[in-house]
Structures are given as C-alpha cells and as structure tokens.
Structure 1
Amino acid sequence: MDKNTIIIGGGIGGLCSGIRLLSKGYHVTLLEKNKQIGGKINILKDNNFKFDLTASIIMTPKIYTDIFKDVGKNYEDYFKIHKLDPIYKVFYDDKTFYNFYSDTNKMINELENLQKGLSTNFFNFLSKSYEKYFISKDKILNQPMINLKEIINFSFIKSMGKINPLSSTNNYLNKLICNEKLKNYLIFTSMFIGVNPYTNSNIYTLIPTISHLYGLWYIEGGLYEYIKALEKLFIDMGGKIITNCEVKNILIENNQVKGVKTKYKVLSGDLIICNVDYPFAIKNLINDESLDNKYGKNNLKNIDYSCSVFILYLGLDKIYHNLNVHNIYISKDFKNSIEGPFRGYIPSDPSLYIYYPSAIDKSFKVNNHSSMNIMIRVPNLSFNNINYNNNQIKVLKKYIFNTLKNINGLESIESHVIYENYLTPLDLRDKYNLYYGNAFGISHKISQSAYFRPHLKSKKVKGLYFIGSSTHPGNGASVVIDGSKVLCDIIENNKK
C-alpha cells in the first residue's frame, strides 16, 4: 500500500497525526489555508505585545510530552514546561478571592478558610469524579468508536452505570458540594468543553478534577510555542508543510480518495486526513454521495453546536501583581451568566476567564508592559438576534470593563490600556472555518458523544479520515492530541 498522505489543516490534530504517521514511514504533506499553522491555537502579535489567540490552559501534561517520546524524541529539545500552583485565582462579586491549588495541603487550608469542613466535600468530589475520568478514558476516549459493538456490550453498559452520565453537572455538584462559591468555581471550569452545565452531563466535572490532581502547566512563551515545537518536529521527521494553501475539494472516485484540489493545482494522495472542522468539511469539501447520513449536508442545521467566545486582548502599560496566570471572576448573577450563551443572549453581568501570562513570563511583559486576555462565553451564530458589529463590540467591552473594575486592583484598568484587539464568533467562522463560529466543535451532549459523534474514519470512503474538535473523542487540545493516537492506530489496523 502506498503511504502518500495529505493532511488538510494545520491545527494541533493535523500536526500530531502527521507526526505519528511520519514515524511509521508515511510520506506526509500538510496543507494550511492561513499564513500561520496552528488553527485556532495561534498567536496575535503587535509591536511590544503578543497574545495566545484562544487556548491557554494545559492539563494532563504527559499527553503533551508523550507524543515526542512516542516518536523517539526528547520534548525538552523542543519546549519548556513547568507546573503552576495555585492553578486558579478566583474572584467573587463580593470582593473576596481565593487561590485554588493542586497541592493538597494548600488546598485544604484555603477551603477550610472558606468554610469549615469544606475540604472533606471537595476531596470526596475529586474521588468520585476521578473514577469517572478513568472509566471515560478507558471506555470512550481511547477507543475508536467506529463500531456500534463498542457501546452495545455488557462491559461498556456496566461502566456507564458506574459513572451515571445522565445527571447534569449542577445536580451532581449539588449533592457533593455544600458551598456555593466552590460549587460555582467547579461549574465554571466544567464548562470549558462548551456545554451548558445546568442541562448537560456531569461527566465534564472531570475537567476540574484532573486540573487539581495533575495540576495546570505552562509552556514558556505561551501555548503557541507548543505549536512551533510540533511544527519543528514535523519537519525534522521529513514532513512537508505548505501554508497559504486552501483546499477546495477532496477528490473521490468509486468511494476511494484520490487527492485534493486547491486553488491552483491537484495533489494526489492515498490517505486524506481532514483537520478542518467537520461540519465545514461536510458542507464544502465532500460531495453528497460520499457522506454519512447522520451528519450529511441536509442535517447540519439540526446538529447542536457548542457556544462561542468573545475574547478581548488588552496591551497594558503596567504589570498587575495581584493576578495569577489563570484567573476567574464569578459574577453575582452566576447562573444567568453561564446559561445566557446557550439561550441566545449576552448577560450584562458576565463571569470571566482572565488569562495573564505576564504574571510569570518575561516574553509577555516587555518594557514593563503586559498582555491580558479576557474571555466570555457568547451565543454562536445560529442565534441571528445578535450581530457582532461595532455597536455590539462596544456593549461587550462595556460589560467586561465594568466587571473588571469590581476586582481589587483593577479598578482603573481602562486607563492603562494602550493596545486593544478582539476576537468574535465571526472571526472563528471566517478565518478558522468553524460552523456558526462555535468555539468548541459540535456540542458534547450525550447524543453527540462517543459512537454518536462524527467518526475518525469515513464509513463510505476508503482512505478518508477526520480529526478535530467536532469528531471523536472531542474538543480540547489534550483530547485531540490523544485522539491523533487513536486515529493512527485505526489507519495502521486498516492495512492488516
């Protein structure tokens, strides 16, 4: 079998899949439509300021380093990573704040300061949710999920009974956590997958669980340094990367891939791995007769999609010593601030995620200036009552600055802004091909997860594969990196 492989899209899934195949002797060419690879894990630069474009949180560091080990390389030759603790500084509307740690003793002390006996609640939660993580990883995340038999068997059904995924995050936490501040923090971090924690599965409480048990980590220079490390590894192993090269069609004959058509030429390939967002690929790159029924062109509007984000990038003329790298603000009307994006409106009192790498990284604080990202969840573009025009941007900025001023030490932040930029759902749709400008792929509700999520392998077309936020195993950099390993195992097994 010829091993000529074309990867469409230079996101983290495309890079990692290519690296794994290169290590097995495949010839791999990666095509990226933008000037820079990385997809939405990218970087924004302007004069003295730089910003990680979207992703910034690193959990399960072993996943980030294992891909180098798997192909016989030392990750330390490519990037530097170290642990953060506290993992979050959490501010509340009543002007209080708490540092939450992965260090057990420090976390116990902080929780007992918040409420006597609360640490017992918390560690009971960790124990229960850690079991969910192990079962999910073993039975779902690390499995191909391309055959119905993978979920219709006694072992799988028994495991799902143990983790009880049908209860919502909110209901699950209500039974385990007696303190509202701690519960809201756990709800906020559970929604990093882009689903409504008041209506969707409690399985995503594994996100704060592994954050506390494994810690959060930081790559020197920001997360885009990891993309640059993967790019270097890809090239070191003999891969070819072509940027500014947009694929217009995947060429298929007799249910077998033949290559791709770009604006200027046709490239032949025996394997095609599509790392563009799955709904975009279905709508724009593949002919109707080659599509699977559930996620065909006619059904795209019937799929549930994750929410989107608005990110405000601030270049500041000072350094804020009261912030950590990862900060959260929990608003007074917390439930409304969380549910708004899923119901089609933007709350005026938003809860915020504040990313401030300048707290520890010299490359983000040049000439005593600093860089700050403020992210809020917003409705995706399926809600046509919101136009992300200049007037809407002004309203969003007003909400954000009014909220920031409620944090001790940030009361005058607006007067220290010397550079400003932003990212909206329109940017996610137009530059990164994300359907409805969603930020986390198709929704991770139960009926769109595991076997019921778009598959890594096409059912109809031989040699066509997919990887990314909208396919199994799901969204999140570490999840997609692990997914690339599952994908390459499927490709190798198909040769047998």
Structure 2
Amino acid sequence: GELIEADDVVCNADFPYAMKELVNEAKVRGRYTPERIDSMKYSCSCLVFYWGVTGTYESLSTHNFVISSDYDANLRSIFDGSEIRQPSIYLHIPSQTEPDMAPAGQSAFYALLPISELGTAQYEWNEQTVKLYRDKVLDALSALPELEHLRENIVMERMFTPEDFEREFHAYRGATFGLQPTLRQSNHWRPQAKAKHCEGLYFTGSSTHPGAGVPIVMQSGKICAEELMRDEEGTL
C-alpha cells in the first residue's frame, strides 16, 4: 500500500500482464488494449517436475533430451491445445557436475516438458491432467539407461504447472517465454523498451524487444538501460 514516487520506472513484469493489470490509463496503453493483448500470440508454457531421486546415474549426462518420435505432432499439440500424446522432455541432473546439489548417494532431477499455455489448452489443470503428463514423463524417462526403476526411486517431488507460472511470476496465460517471436511480434513490431505514451516508463523482459531466452532478455535489459540513460542525458 505504499506510494513511492519516481521520475523513471522500469517495469520488468511480463509486458502483457503489465499492460492489462498495472497500467490503468487507456492513453498510456496505446495500441496495447486488453483486447489486443488477448489476441496476441503466446509461446508455450512448461510443466516442470523437481525430483529427489535415490541413486546416482553415471551413464546419464547433466543435460539429457528425449525427443518425441513424432515431433511435428508434438509441436501441433502444444500450439493447438490438444492433449500431447508423446511429449518431448528435457532432463537436467545438476548433481552430475555439482554433487552438493543432492545428498550422498542421491540425485537431483529437473524434468521439463513444453506444454500449451493456459489460453490455448483444451483441458483444465487439475490432478488428473498432472497425473496424465507425469505418467508420460516417467514412461519416457524410464526407457533411459539406469532409469527403469525411476518411479520407485523418487523420494521427493515438487512440480510447477502453467498455473504456477501465471500465479508466481505473472507470466501472462502461463506462457513461460512471453510473446511468440512471429514476424509481426518481432523487431519494431514487438513491445519496445520505452513507453510511447508515458514519459519515464520503460519495459524489459521476454515479451519485449528483442525476445525471450536468458541471453536475449539480458539484451533487453541493456537496451532498456540505454534508453533511460539517453533520456536522462537529454534532461541535463
């Protein structure tokens, strides 16, 4: 409830969320009306499982990829919202290179599958949906060397669903990587670092120019800082 006045504000909340929930004046929103925000194209979301697992697995790498045998169908399902029959999975085992990430004789697993964002998904996120995809992940991973007993070896579990991405990080519709990098949502068509209709307001993050991914988002922060400094120099 505290009001803090500032000459400049840098907003690193997800741009679509910020425009719908944090910016209240239509003239400041400009073309990014609530209707336009809803009609824009969004990236996939992710379902993530964090597992503490008994045992160590020398035959597995720190980074492991299980690619769907029908990758085209996998991608279609992600973006049309239908049930993903055979997901692609990224398995990260940080304890392979950093043993302190897990107790002795155990491993830390991070299993991620790309999945539909909340506005696209044709199913609800409930216990049944989580179980469906958890079973698919475990079935796929159990085929890897040394993981045939993965189900029984899980001793700790935490999961992160698209709803968690929306609730915890205000990722709009749970879209983990913000706006899709389509032609009309890239470069000068993508939300920019400097607000066009409000002096002193700046944006950064995966839904702004130049796009998503850690290195690229760091560039968005650099661009944002440069815009702000350029404006500050102009007022001296």
Q: TM-score band, normalised by the shorter chain?
A: over 0.9
**1:292: Cα distance to partner?**
4.0
- Report whether the alignment pairs 1:441 with 2:178: yes
The residue that corresponds to 1:330 in the other structure is 67
Question: Of 7, 13, 28, which aligns to 1:276?
Answer: 13
- Report whether the alignment pairs 1:370 with 2:107: yes
Q: Which has the larger radius of gyration?
A: 1
The residue that corresponds to 1:385 in the other structure is 122
CA contact (8 A) 1:426 1:437 kept: yes
Find the aligned partners of 2:94 and 2:228 in 1 and give their Cα distance.
Answer: 38
Find the aligned partners of 2:121 and 2:86 in 1 and give their Cα distance.
Answer: 22
CA contact (8 A) 2:23 2:29 kept: no
Give the gaps of 5 or more residues in structure 1.
Answer: 1-263
CA RMSD across the alignment: 1.3
Count residues with an aligned counterpart.
233
**1:321: Cα distance to partner?**
1.0
**1:339: Cα distance to partner?**
2.5
**1:313: Cα distance to partner?**
1.2
The residue that corresponds to 2:216 in the other structure is 479
CA contact (8 A) 2:205 2:217 kept: yes
Find the aligned partners of 2:73 and 2:40 in 1 and give their Cα distance.
Answer: 24
State how 1:292-303 maps to structure 2 within 5 Å: 292-303=29-40
**1:365: Cα distance to partner?**
2.4
1:95-148: CA deviation from partner (whole Å, max 9, x where unpaired): xxxxxxxxxxxxxxxxxxxxxxxxxxxxxxxxxxxxxxxxxxxxxxxxxxxxxx
- Report whether the alignment pairs 1:344 with 2:65: no
Question: Of 459, 471, 478, which aligns to 2:196?
Answer: 459
Find the aligned partners of 2:16 and 2:28 in 1 and give their Cα distance.
Answer: 11
State how 1:224-303 maps to structure 2 within 5 Å: 264-303=1-40
**1:348: Cα distance to partner?**
2.4
- Report whether the alignment pairs 1:400 with 2:137: yes
Find the aligned partners of 2:22 and 2:42 in 1 and give their Cα distance.
Answer: 20
Find the aligned partners of 2:121 and 2:78 in 1 and give their Cα distance.
Answer: 13
Find the aligned partners of 1:290 and 1:275 in 2 and give their Cα distance.
Answer: 20
Q: In structure 1, the residue corresponding to 2:4 is in which secondary structure? A: strand
The residue that corresponds to 2:48 in the other structure is 311
Find the aligned partners of 2:41 and 2:17 in 1 and give their Cα distance.
Answer: 14
Find the aligned partners of 2:40 and 2:58 in 1 and give their Cα distance.
Answer: 44
Provide TM-score, normalisation by structure 1: 0.46
1:375-421: CA deviation from partner (whole Å, max 9, x where unpaired): 11111111252111011111011111111122222111111110111
Q: In structure 2, the residue corresponding to 1:474 is in which secondary structure? A: coil
**1:492: Cα distance to partner?**
1.6
Provide TM-score, normalisation by structure 2: 0.94
CA contact (8 A) 1:345 1:378 kept: no
**1:298: Cα distance to partner?**
2.5
CA contact (8 A) 1:346 1:378 kept: no
Find the aligned partners of 2:121 and 2:44 in 1 and give their Cα distance.
Answer: 14
CA contact (8 A) 2:62 2:94 kept: yes
Which amino acid is the alignment partner of residue 295 of structure 1?
Answer: Y
Question: Of 214, 225, 228, which aligns to 1:488?
Answer: 225
**1:323: Cα distance to partner?**
1.3
> Which structure is higher in RCO with an 8 Å CA cutoff and minimum separation 6?
2
Tell which deviates more after alignment, 481-490 or 310-319.
Answer: 481-490
State how 1:160-171 maps to structure 2 within 5 Å: none
Find the aligned partners of 1:306 and 1:463 in 2 and give their Cα distance.
Answer: 29
